[in-house]
Amino acid sequence: MDEKQINAFFGDDAPKGFGTGWWSGVLAAFFGLLALGAVLCLHFPQYLTAPELRAFYPMDVMRWGIKGLIVAALVFGVVAALLRQKKALALTGLIAAFLATLLGGSSVVIDATLHNGPAIGFDWFLLDMLLMAAIYVPIERLWPYYVDQGTFRDQWALDVIYFASTHLPIQIMSFMIMLPATQATKYLAIPSVAGAIADLPLVVQFFLAVVVADIAEWAIHFTMHKVPFLWRFHSIHHSSKALDWIAGSRAHFVEDFVVRGFILVPMMLAFSQGIIMAYLVFVTLHATWTHCNTRMNVKWLEPFLVMPRYHHWHHASQKEAIDVNFAIHFPWIDRLFGTYYYPKHWPTKYGLDEEEIGSGFIRQTWEPFVRPNRRISESQPL
């Protein structure tokens, strides 16, 4: 089922504002499917949960969370069924919640001894989807900049697939991302530098970590724009014609390995594991926010911290915005390297500048290896 079929099955032409039953239906389906997925993780933890994360789960809290998801799906499902003529979303949420309950709900007992064998990060996908959506969807709905851009805008399903593609194969992703840094620490580590940094206050360590990471990000990001072979992969990220919180997930796995892997090289040489973990939480929240469709802004912070409008100009396909704003956290880094661009208004056009890439996740995954991007003027008519 492709995106058009999904939209046709669940959507309709009735109003979708608050009080119409639309959002109740969306929440019912969302919570119901999350609950069902979580119950499946309890049944098959060896295969569906990431070994790296199991030790950190407060299981009592997780079980109460599953109960909450089931109850929320049932409540919102009933409300949506009463308010909205089309029942597809409501029924999806209700059926998923009933299935989760029939399968044991939050009371499923994990009685097997778990080991560090092969597994997919289905738990990580569900948890991160819940947290990110809970934070950013309300922001985009309450304070949008592009008011007419809905949550389920064109190509939203493609970005959900990209989101899943970086979460499910967590063991492979983690190994490949860590590989450059772990190899570098064997030959380049300078204990005296790491020790001196470790003696600094934690706040100073964290700030230095963000600076080091962002300078590395600028260099890698700039290189991916300027080296044609690397641009084939990075152009996938720039192909979004509308930005929101999940559009930032659209990235080729080669880009993920290169960017994340080589940012970690200076980080692991200089900072403790705790500081690196704190930075990874920060970059996840901040980078997602900068892609958001939101007018929310802290004006006095604009010279010091990247805001959504700043990063949106990096994604703009207007001529004046090509190859600018490579920093992900600090605008002054772009000022330092001459790539700063921050007009008072927002972009009017996003996506690639006169370039064509394949459509769909599978095609976008394999095509950069075998064929460079083509100018639209040089290709067949679309």
Residue 232 within any structural domain of the chain: yes
Higher pLDDT, 78 or 2: 78
pLDDT tens, position by position, 103-153: 999 999 998 889 998 999 999 999 999 999 999 999 999 999 999 999 999
Task: Supply the pLDDT for residue 351.
Answer: 95
Model confidence at 379: pLDDT above 60 = no
**115-120: which pairs have CB atoms within 8 A and are 24 or more residues apart?**
115/46, 115/51, 116/51, 117/46, 117/51, 118/47, 118/171, 119/46, 119/47, 119/48, 119/49, 119/50, 119/51, 119/171, 120/47, 120/48, 120/50, 120/168, 120/169, 120/170, 120/171
Residues 6+ apart with CB under 8 A from 135: 285, 288
Claim to verify: residue 81 and residue 194 sit in the same structural domain: no
Q: Which residues pair with 361 in a beta bridge?
A: none
Q: Which helix (H) or strand (E) holds 375?
A: strand 374-375
pLDDT tens, position by position, 259-282: 999 999 999 999 999 999 999 999
* Residue range 205-231: mean pLDDT, rounded: 97
Claim to verify: residue 238 and residue 310 sit in the same structural domain: yes
pTM equals: 0.93
Claim to verify: residue 84 and residue 178 sit in the same structural domain: no
Claim to verify: residue 73 and residue 206 sit in the same structural domain: no
Task: Supply the pLDDT for residue 13.
Answer: 87
Give the structural domain span for 44. 3-119
- Opening angle at CA 155, ends 150 and 158, nearest 5: 125
Task: Read off the pLDDT band of 1 (50, 70, 90).
Answer: low
The count of domains in the chain is 2
Residue 167 within any structural domain of the chain: no
Residue 236 within any structural domain of the chain: yes
Task: Please state, in angstroms and rounded to a whole number, the distance separating the CA atoms of residues 168 and 161.
Answer: 10
Model confidence at 61: pLDDT above 70 = yes
Name the 3-class secondary structure at 201.
coil
Q: How many other C-beta atoms lie within 10 A of the C-beta of residue 195?
A: 9
Task: Supply the pLDDT for residue 376.
Answer: 57
Claim to verify: residue 83 and residue 187 sit in the same structural domain: no
Task: Read off the pLDDT band of 381 (50, 70, 90).
Answer: very low
Six token digits for residue 261: 């892997």
Claim to verify: residue 221 and residue 344 sit in the same structural domain: yes
Model confidence at 380: pLDDT above 90 = no
Task: Read off the pLDDT band of 69 (50, 70, 90).
Answer: very high
